[in-house]
Structure 1
Amino acid sequence: MKFNDGFWHLMEGVKANYAVAVQRTATASDELKLQSSTMPIRHRGDTLKGPVLNITVHSPADNIIGVKIDHFVHRPNVADYSLFPDGAPPKPSVQAAKTDSGSSLVSGKLVAEVTNNPYTLSFSAANKKLTFAGEKYQGLFDVPYKWTTQRASVTSCVATDFSSVPNPPSPPDKIRFINSELNISPGELFYGLGEQFGSFTKNGQRVSIWNADGGTSSEQAYKCVPFYVSNRGYGVFVNHPGEVEFDVGATKVSRLGIAVAGESLEYFIIYGDTPIEILERYTLLTGRPALPPTWTFGLWLSTSFLTSYSSETVFKLLEDYHGKDEAVVFARSGAAGGQRFPVHWGGDCESTFEAMAEATRGLLSLSISGYGYGAHDIGGFEGLPPAELYMRWVAFGMFSSHTRLHGSSSYRVPWLYGEQAAVAMSNLLEVKHRLMPYLYYYAIQAHQLGHPMHRTMFVEFPGDRTTHSLDRQYFLGRSLLVAPVFVPQGEDTEYYLPAGRWTEFKTGRTLDGPRWVKEAVALEDIPLWVRPGSVICLGPAKTGRPDYELARGLEVRVYELAEGETAEVGVPTGHGAALAGSVKATRKGGELIVETSGRGVELGAVGVFIAGVRVEGGGQSVGGDSRVVQVAGSGGKVVLKLVRV
């Protein structure tokens, strides 16, 4: 919501009552209760002038601090979000303190500090101020109705459709809002707010949290979430189920404004040492993703033009076929907490490279908003994609958690695009099937910890400033860097590799980062690079499906493990969240030691992808690749001698 005309002046007719001075503070074991006047109190008569804001600073869990601003406390007319739906966390370690000039609340590493006069509220952690609400950053605003007519909730079909509202009430003279601003530091960037298709970093944008069916090419979105992440090490979740309006430095360029219509606003500051920790704590607050069964990670085909059945009918059909707790249907809309009910796809997109990029931004924006999995309409929903676009999008889709061929008025089957497209899809699907032990382990991580399968480059490399604005590449799990291609055949694509020695998954070639890579990529390929220090478990070849015994006949690949390093990864059974055990690789004294834990893990081969060394002796090579040797029947431990070349 826009309250200001420039920085100093309010819009015509807008009346502001800012929280200016704390008049009373009460402390409890886990909260501060503040009463702030909206004008200076110089004498007793001033207490009768202007509204009073009640501000509660509290901590529901370690490293999470909530701020609730109330004018009139009343029962809301809409349901609140259900916080901690998976169960209440342990009681946080909280310390509240009060002095003559202010008060503070400490939760884990996160500290909230209040000054009384003028009233300010700041948040810090790890010897760094994260953000703050300064003097006159929070307040109550009465806004003439004419300035509110373009709000998303006012212009939606629910509000304007005659059949829905045949007798609309007369508009009020004014609408009341609570607005709270937080400081934007130099170089600070913001991500999230649900599945947003515009610029990946949200700086300079006004974003309304209000779902709408506007396609992927507009400011509207299907899955709006009032949660964002800052590259300064914190996230903010607004606990409000109605329209929330974010002004991310658009009106006041060094402030982020959060506005809701009504008398109450609550938000939570969530601290994490890393972006993945922030997401872990946010999904603790709003719920962890359910775990889709393994069969859902295969190839889906659906249409819009033949749909004449309900989601409930499909769900029941799948449940009858696969068994109880094994059914999944796709959803297009979502909200905060919607990650608990996967799987979601990205909505209606055009058949263009631009729309493919929109789908990518939407997927990454959604993933940093707490959603563990995602999909999109391969080839685009509207129109008929040309073959080269279709093949580029197929490659992108195969390295998304869920892969769906879907069109508005035509099938997206590969044979409509020629033999090359069909063969390319078959080959890429084979790679995805073999990657299922890796992929499903990270699906379990999403379910248990809230770590998304699709991870923005910033999430995995927050210390590399180059990654902070990258929106055309991502990690699938922790170890695979995916760089979809958004250009026609023959034109160079460009992507970024952070520091370290990276290995191309398909060819085994290595490149040292940090560097930008500019190259032409064949239509049947996609840049797929393995992070140094990784262990990746592959299933057997030619299974023809994603749902098999994921711990049997594993090919364990070890990538650029440095001398003295150890890397370990869990191995799923493929049945729910159960792990069969783990695989650990250690490079020490010229040897590579690969060990399994758990009786259910069965090794078939070990691949050594370390530049400058080869395996001496060992078993027979697999598929003519000397880097991969057979170790079947070796038990739970394999020792390979490494020789420099």
Structure 2
Amino acid sequence: MKFTNGYWLARPGVEALYARSPYELSVGDDGKSIDVLATTRVIHDRADTLNLPTFRIHASSPAEGVIRVQASHWKGSRVCPGFPVNEQEADEGIITASAQGPGDGEIGQDGSTVRLTSGDLSLTMTKGDSFDMTFRCGEKELTHARGKSLARFLLTPDAAVSTQPVGEFGVSPTAHAYDESPVFTSIQLGLEVGERVYGFGERFGPYVKNGQTIDIWNEDGGTASEQGYKDIPFYMTSNGYGVLVNNRGHVSFEVASENTETVQFSVPGEAIDFYLISGPDPKRILERYTALVGRPAEVPAWSYGLWLTTSFTTKYDEQTVTSMIDGMAERDIPLSVFHYDCYWMREFHWTDFQWDKRFFPDIEGTLSRLHEDKGLHVCAWINPYIGQESILFDEGADKGYLVRKPDGDIWQTDLWQAGMGLVDFTNPAARDWYKGKVKTLLAQGVDAIKTDFGERIPSDVVWFDGSDSASMHNWYTQLYNQTVFEAIEEVKGKGQACLYARSATVGGQQQPVHWGGDCESTFNGMAQTLRAGLSLVSSGFGFWSHDIGGFEGAHPDPAVYKRWIAFGLLSSHSRLHGSTVYRVPWLFDQEDERRGVVNPPEQTAVSVLRKFTRLKISLMPYLYQLGLEAHEAGQPVMRSMFMEFPDDRTALDCDRQYMLGPSLLVAPVFSYSGDVEYYLPKGVWTNWFTGEQEDCREAGHWMSGREGFDTVPLWIRDGTVLVARQGQTSTEYAYGTDVTVSVFLAQDGKAEARVRDEVGDDVVFTAERSGDQVTIVSSDGRDFTGCLGKGEGVRSQNGQVVLTVA
């Protein structure tokens, strides 16, 4: 949101107050917080204190390496709720926060300083004629708020503010900012020359956010827009810190845009609240951030396999479903999950949790056959909207479980389902009611739930618990997904619950998995999907998926579909889904035939899907361990190049490639020809498909080439011990047994890989190179096949093998 007209002036209709001078400084009674009274002009004598607005600033530390700053103009005004956080108690020996200043309750003289320290992170403010709030990690300055950085803006009804304020469902370009609030509070945090900014949840524009205006306001806007399904008021920068704005409502960011030297964030109301989290590297930032707001749950091993759906508007019954599943089996394409999209329920009845008996007269039998005869898990689609034809509408209305308008009427709309209402998840009884419906579905044989929507949340309603409407727009999705996830977990057990969710806010990462929304079936759609995924996993989300081949479009181009397969199967979760056409591969081969396109046998859609599905299954010892790291330390399965190589200046800007864990570099192909350009950072890299090595020990290399549909740039990083198991047709197998341990050590050194075996024990495979000899050892003496790079394997004896480098 832009309030200024250039550097010096405010926009018409905007009155600004700026914190100009820290006037009173004090240390909290606990010795672990600081308070500052800042005036809006410099005080020379007592008369200057009359008719003078002030800001009150309070800084504290909820965890080591994290500092919270709360600033307000009028402390009696209503404040938008923040997010639940896990504060760590000082008596646990975790927080080392301490505050220093001129003395408890003392004002101090000009030049007096208060400092709050938490681990290596510190915040310093000094009494004087200029406002300066500086954050440091050790001696290094991370960021600062100086000059006119902390501000309160009062708007007139005609204020010419550039924003996207609240409309019927949320963001509306036709409304005025004044309609949302006549008052906004903002702060600007400085950027260094060349500092990059990342995050903000799922954003489809460039991965580097400098120069962008970003509104945190969930919308169902598609992937080719500035809107997002999963807007997260968190960002991190290449200077070694992250920032969470602690506000559930509308947060507007100007990222080196309104002021090119800062990130500005503003919120409605008289107060602002944020956490600054030190690194120094992206992984450490995410570790601390997710410790604060929650880490992803463990996901079941079967969820990593290939998901196939009925697609959106297709017509289907048990015979249709069986034909697709059997078609995959006949072509030796392993399938893990089958998903029923919207039309398992009768049209106009969404959501009623009732299978359409015209097409599924014996659903328990159908699902039992999918489980027992086909070896599949099952997912079903739901949303939180209750159409008035649903049997749940009257039930929910009678019990007070649907959101109401201020006049007492049930809020309804015809957008999506005719006369639909909205479940009020702020009502504990409504949550239990909805959970009961989910549990009935699970009892019928469903294993996972696709929680669609959750973004179209109205503002002109009254919530059961009295929540402010503006704060509920983004927060609603968390209550919705949390309710469904809890229902699954209560039935299936911890580690066995799995969502497939579209919308999210801060905290949503605790209920995986999330997918990237309704993307275009084009190479542009594929590229913007990747950018969104990289932004989401840079915002605390450990798992992420997307619609292979794209969602929109009657029949995606077979080339797009095949290129997307490699990208999709080299993601944490992999789903074939579309809008109007089933995404089974033989339909795309038929389309090529119709066009007169002749493909070699290995480059048909069927062959490509078979190859990459089996590749992913073989990597499950590696991938499952990555999922455990996401759960235990907040490290995402997929990572941007910046996240894995933060000191590489070229990697800072790469958003058409990514790392799958720390060891595998993937560069999806975004062209019909197969031409691709990508970057290999410093080190030695081995091509997965050819075994060739690229020596980048002196410096990183840009690479270019042409890939067939059956290959993709997939490179293994030196220093990797990769555990895999070929020949499997299911993602569920013993990850530490009968495996091949491949070692990539270009010089003397030591590396290891940890995997979880079938009984839940960790097995560590350690490799050490000395000269031309490489020794590989398993931690518990179990045997394995060891090999160097992509070479021939040798079976170990008593859990140890010694190999000679050629």
Same fold (TM over 0.5): yes
Shift of 1:48: 2.8
Answer whether contact 1:314 1:329 (CA < 8 A) is retained: no
> Which SS does the other structure have where 2:446 is aligned?
helix
Q: Of 314, 335, 341, which aligns to 2:511?
A: 341
> Which SS does the other structure have where 1:468 is aligned?
helix
Answer whether contact 2:2 2:163 (CA < 8 A) is retained: no
CA 1:574–1:258: 2 relative to 1, 3 Å: farther
Answer whether contact 1:86 1:287 (CA < 8 A) is retained: no
Give ranges in structure 1 of 5+ residues lacking alignment. 162-167, 610-624
Q: What is aligned with 2:191?
A: 184
AA aligned to 1:324 is G
Whole-angstrom distance in 2 between the partners of 1:188 and 1:160: 32
Q: Of 318, 323, 327, which aligns to 2:446?
A: 318
> Which SS does the other structure have where 1:391 is aligned?
helix
Whole-angstrom distance in 2 between the partners of 1:282 and 1:170: 31
Q: Of 130, 136, 142, which aligns to 2:148?
A: 136
Whole-angstrom distance in 1 between the partners of 2:557 and 2:231: 31
Q: Write out aligned runs for 1:477-626 (5 A).
A: 477-489=661-673, 491-513=674-696, 514-539=700-725, 541-563=726-748, 565-573=749-757, 578-598=760-780, 602-609=782-789
AA aligned to 2:743 is V
Shift of 1:85: 8.2
Mapped pair 1:464 → 2:464: no
Q: Of 15, 37, 40, which aligns to 1:38?
A: 40
Answer whether contact 1:190 1:229 (CA < 8 A) is retained: yes
Whole-angstrom distance in 1 between the partners of 2:643 and 2:172: 40
Answer whether contact 2:794 2:801 (CA < 8 A) is retained: no
Whole-angstrom distance in 1 between the partners of 2:802 and 2:524: 49
Q: Write out aligned runs for 1:381-396 (5 A).
A: 381-383=551-553, 384-396=555-567
Answer whether contact 2:62 2:87 (CA < 8 A) is retained: no
Q: CA RMSD in A?
A: 2.4
CA 1:114–1:439: 2 relative to 1, 3 Å: same
Identity %: 37
Shift of 1:571: 0.8
> Which SS does the other structure have where 2:141 is aligned?
strand
Answer whether contact 1:315 1:328 (CA < 8 A) is retained: no
Q: Of 352, 366, 372, which aligns to 2:536?
A: 366
Shift of 1:79: 4.1
Whole-angstrom distance in 1 between the partners of 2:274 and 2:11: 25
Superposed CA offset, 1:184-236 (max 9, x none): 21101100000000011111111000000110000000000001110011111
CA 1:584–1:332: 2 relative to 1, 3 Å: same
CA 1:579–1:562: 2 relative to 1, 3 Å: farther
Answer whether contact 2:686 2:693 (CA < 8 A) is retained: yes
Q: What is aligned with 2:14?
A: 14
Answer whether contact 2:79 2:270 (CA < 8 A) is retained: no
CA 1:300–1:173: 2 relative to 1, 3 Å: closer
> Which SS does the other structure have where 2:260 is aligned?
coil
Answer whether contact 2:722 2:743 (CA < 8 A) is retained: yes
AA aligned to 1:542 is G
Answer whether contact 1:582 1:597 (CA < 8 A) is retained: yes
Answer whether contact 1:153 1:210 (CA < 8 A) is retained: no
Shift of 1:63: 1.0
> Which SS does the other structure have where 2:166 is aligned?
helix
AA aligned to 1:106 is T
Q: Write out aligned runs for 1:101-140 (5 A).
A: 101=111, 102-117=113-128, 118-140=130-152
Whole-angstrom distance in 2 between the partners of 1:191 and 1:173: 27
Q: Mean Cα displacement is larger for which, 313-322 or 589-598? A: 313-322
Whole-angstrom distance in 1 between the partners of 2:579 and 2:13: 47
> Which SS does the other structure have where 1:259 is aligned?
strand
AA aligned to 1:630 is V
CA 1:446–1:169: 2 relative to 1, 3 Å: closer
Superposed CA offset, 1:121-154 (max 9, x none): 0111143211110122102111223347864342
Give ranges in structure 2 of 5+ residues lacking alignment. 103-108, 314-340, 346-352, 354-380, 383-437, 449-487, 590-600
Shift of 1:518: 0.8
> Which SS does the other structure have where 2:718 is aligned?
coil
Q: Of 145, 154, 161, which aligns to 2:157?
A: 145
Superposed CA offset, 1:467-518 (max 9, x none): 00100000011100000000113x5210000111100112211112211111
Answer whether contact 1:144 1:173 (CA < 8 A) is retained: no
CA 1:573–1:52: 2 relative to 1, 3 Å: same
Q: Mean Cα displacement is larger for which, 442-451 or 266-275? A: 266-275
Answer whether contact 1:145 1:174 (CA < 8 A) is retained: no
Paired positions, count: 613
Q: What is aligned with 1:295?
A: 302
Whole-angstrom distance in 2 between the partners of 1:301 and 1:340: 24
Whole-angstrom distance in 1 between the partners of 2:251 and 2:242: 16
AA aligned to 1:318 is V
Q: What is aligned with 1:67?
A: 69
Q: What is aligned with 1:635?
A: 798
Whole-angstrom distance in 1 between the partners of 2:57 and 2:732: 52
Q: Of 95, 98, 111, which aligns to 1:95?
A: 98
Q: Which has the higher helix share?
A: 2
Q: What is aligned with 1:421?
A: 605
> Which SS does the other structure have where 1:397 is aligned?
helix
Whole-angstrom distance in 1 between the partners of 2:238 and 2:682: 19
Whole-angstrom distance in 2 between the partners of 1:145 and 1:526: 55
Whole-angstrom distance in 2 between the partners of 1:236 and 1:243: 16
CA 1:551–1:145: 2 relative to 1, 3 Å: farther
Whole-angstrom distance in 2 between the partners of 1:294 and 1:285: 26
Q: Of 409, 416, 438, which aligns to 2:580?
A: 409
> Which SS does the other structure have where 2:682 is aligned?
strand
> Which SS does the other structure have where 1:282 is aligned?
helix
> Which SS does the other structure have where 1:285 is aligned?
helix
Answer whether contact 1:17 1:50 (CA < 8 A) is retained: no
Shift of 1:366: 0.3
Answer whether contact 1:430 1:542 (CA < 8 A) is retained: yes
Answer whether contact 1:183 1:254 (CA < 8 A) is retained: yes
Superposed CA offset, 1:169-198 (max 9, x none): 996697111110011211011000000000
CA 1:548–1:192: 2 relative to 1, 3 Å: same
If the length of structure 2 is used for normalisation, what is the TM-score? 0.73
Answer whether contact 1:555 1:603 (CA < 8 A) is retained: no
Answer whether contact 1:149 1:155 (CA < 8 A) is retained: no
Superposed CA offset, 1:295-352 (max 9, x none): 0000011222251355436655334999434231200001111111100000011111
Shift of 1:15: 1.2
Q: What is aligned with 2:237?
A: 230
Q: Write out aligned runs for 1:194-209 (5 A).
A: 194-209=201-216
Whole-angstrom distance in 1 between the partners of 2:571 and 2:36: 47
Whole-angstrom distance in 1 between the partners of 2:727 and 2:502: 32
Answer whether contact 1:492 1:519 (CA < 8 A) is retained: yes
